[in-house]
Amino acid sequence: MQANGKALAMFCGQFLVAAPACAFSVGDTWDWQLTEPVDLDRQVRVMDLHPDLVTSEDLAALRQRGVRTICYVSIGTLEKGSADTRAFPDDVLGKTYEDWPDERFLDVRRLDILLPIMKARFEACKDQGFDAIEPDNMDVHDNDSGFPITADDIVAYVARLAAIAHSLDLAIGQKNVPDLTADLIGHMDFLIAESCYQDKWCADVGAYVREDKPIFDAEYTDRPIDFPEACKAAAQQNITMILKDRDLTAPVEFCP
């Protein structure tokens, strides 16, 4: 860190980036746990975790082992029971997310309301000891949210969130939305994909690897998959793939 407290920029690969981005490299092993019970005894380089499931002491211990941690934050929905629920006025809350009935979509056009809330969430991740942000539910434009959200609205929102994360010395990743890769890759430090092999879009985000930014992919056990074949495809594309249950609990299968 510089004496004035600003994030130190450095060359990571061939790009000038904020220092935390250099903690994540193409080929890094990873695990992803958002639901109890958690198991932190994993021989991986990266762990993506829900902040409610770990302590600062847990994160410090992971850091001592050389594990970099990613903090889950929903930026496109409000989860029932969130500690900051009262910060969201009713007019930014849309329809219930069909697949996740405890969540309601957010009007991501309301930067005046959402950016300060998300900054506070990112700061909490930073204070807890995380290295990066997983900004979930970027795909509001692809869902029946109750708002006329466009792809351009998502890009404008996420770009501002990336600037906030980097100002806090945190890395940040793109979450799914392969259609927005060309617009977001310049702002993002890595990509987290769900079922890109099963849904046949891994190649659509290959630009990340070409720019020395890792792709972390999770395939799911509740769908048919030949995981050894999926691992072969992932290896050819330099994607780090794991097999998880839909609730993202502790069990995991790694590619050989």
The DSSP line for 54-72 is --HHHHHHHHHTT-EEEEE
| Listed range (20-34, 43-57, 80-94) with the worst mean pLDDT | 20-34
- Residue 139 located in a structural domain: yes
- Residue 136 located in a structural domain: yes
Query: Distance between CA atoms of 104 and 217, rounded to whole angstroms?
Result: 25
Q: Is the pLDDT of residue 143 over 80?
A: yes
Q: Is the pLDDT of residue 192 over 60?
A: yes
- Residue 3 located in a structural domain: no
Residue reference for tokens 């005046």: 112
Instruction: Specify the pairing of strand 100-106 against strand 46-49.
Output: unpaired
pTM of the model: 0.92
Structural domains counted in the chain: 1
User: Mean pLDDT, the chain, as a whole number?
Assistant: 92
| Listed range (11-15, 97-101, 109-113) with the worst mean pLDDT | 11-15
Nearest to 242, CA basis, from 206, 178, 195, 208: 195
pLDDT computed for residue 164 by the predictor: 98
Residue 248 region by backbone torsions, left for phi larger than 0, else alpha for psi between -120 and 50, else beta? left
pLDDT computed for residue 227 by the predictor: 98
| Listed range (17-26, 163-172, 239-248) with the worst mean pLDDT | 17-26
- Residue 26 located in a structural domain: yes
- Residue 1 located in a structural domain: no
Half-sphere exposure of 229 (CA within 13 A, CB side): 5
Task: Give 58-93 pLDDT, tens digit per residue.
Answer: 999 999 999 999 999 999 999 999 999 999 999 999
| Listed range (12-16, 55-59, 147-151, 194-198) with the worst mean pLDDT | 12-16
- Residue 17 located in a structural domain: yes
- Residue 204 located in a structural domain: yes
At 69, the amino acid letter reads T
Residue reference for tokens 């029932």: 80
pLDDT computed for residue 22 by the predictor: 60
CB 34 within 8 A of CB 107: no
Average pLDDT over residues 194-219: 98
pLDDT computed for residue 99 by the predictor: 84
- Residue 202 located in a structural domain: yes
Q: DSSP assignment, residue 38? A: P
User: Percentage of the chain with pLDDT > 70?
Assistant: 91
Q: What is the CATH number of the domain that holds 45?
A: 3.20.20.70
At 145, the amino acid letter reads S
Nearest to 70, CA basis, from 54, 52, 42, 46: 46
Domain that holds residue 147: 9-254
